[in-house]
Structure 1
Amino acid sequence: MKRIALLGSTLALTVSLSAVVPVGAVDAAPAARYANCKALNGKYRHGVARPGARDSVKGRAKPVRTFTVNRAVYQRNTHLDRDRDGVACEKR
């Protein structure tokens, strides 16, 4: 419990931090690291990308636009982004 006086007045505020933020609520589950594209595509069908990424293609192929944007998952799986375009395991 903490008691705080506001602007030198007699008004006091009592705050219990345990009531405001439950223990462990701030911790987010860590992003999964996948061994290969088959495993990643099992959860993210058309691949996963960092924000702002665009699929780079060669020839007549059309770029993939249906990938999932998730910075944390992409950062854990950059080893699966072989062409380094910001999209890991893009699948048409």
Structure 2
Amino acid sequence: MKKLSTFLLTCGLVVGLSSGVNAEAKTSVTKVKTYENCTALNKDYKGGVARSKNVKNKGGKTHYKPYVSKALYDANKSKDRDKDHIACER
């Protein structure tokens, strides 16, 4: 009886762990949103989107701090008119 319960417990753990790995792998793929213009982007991100945390704004003083995301910046790269790696800064 002890061998049977050990076997069932082992099988349950193997099945439980293998299904958790598959669920985690499926959720790792995310789609980045592209915006039509800066007005739409600034509704979600008031300060715009920066490519990295150490970029400097070329256009002068801004009112808001930009959100940092390489993937989001790359998807909306065309909105960075002054090419300072911050799209739609305000």
Q: Please, what TM-score do these two structures have when normalized by structure 2?
A: 0.69
Matching of residues 1-92 of structure 1 within 5 Å: 15-16=14-15, 17-22=18-23, 24-28=26-30, 30-51=31-52, 52-57=54-59, 61-62=60-61, 66-91=65-90
Distance apart, 1:15 and its partner CA: 4.8
**Runs of 4+ with >3 A deviation:** none
What SS does structure 2 have at the residue aligned with 1:42? helix
For the 8 Å contact 1:56–1:63, the answer to whether it is kept is no
CA distances 1:7-30 after superposition (whole Å, capped 9, x unpaired): xxxxxxx855323331622222x1
Give the structure with the larger strand fraction: 1
Cα distance in structure 1, aligned partners of 2:38 and 2:21: 41
Cα distance in structure 2, aligned partners of 1:50 and 1:66: 13
For the 8 Å contact 1:55–1:65, the answer to whether it is kept is no
What is the aligned-residue RMSD (CA, Å)? 2.1
CA distances 1:50-91 after superposition (whole Å, capped 9, x unpaired): 01321113xxx4256611101111000000000000000000
What SS does structure 2 have at the residue aligned with 1:20? helix
Gaps of 5+ in 1: 1-13
Gaps of 5+ in 2: 1-12
Cα distance in structure 1, aligned partners of 2:55 and 2:75: 16
Letter of the 1:35 partner, please give it: E
Q: How many positions carry a matched residue from both structures?
A: 74
What SS does structure 2 have at the residue aligned with 1:38? helix
Q: Please, what TM-score do these two structures have when normalized by structure 1?
A: 0.68
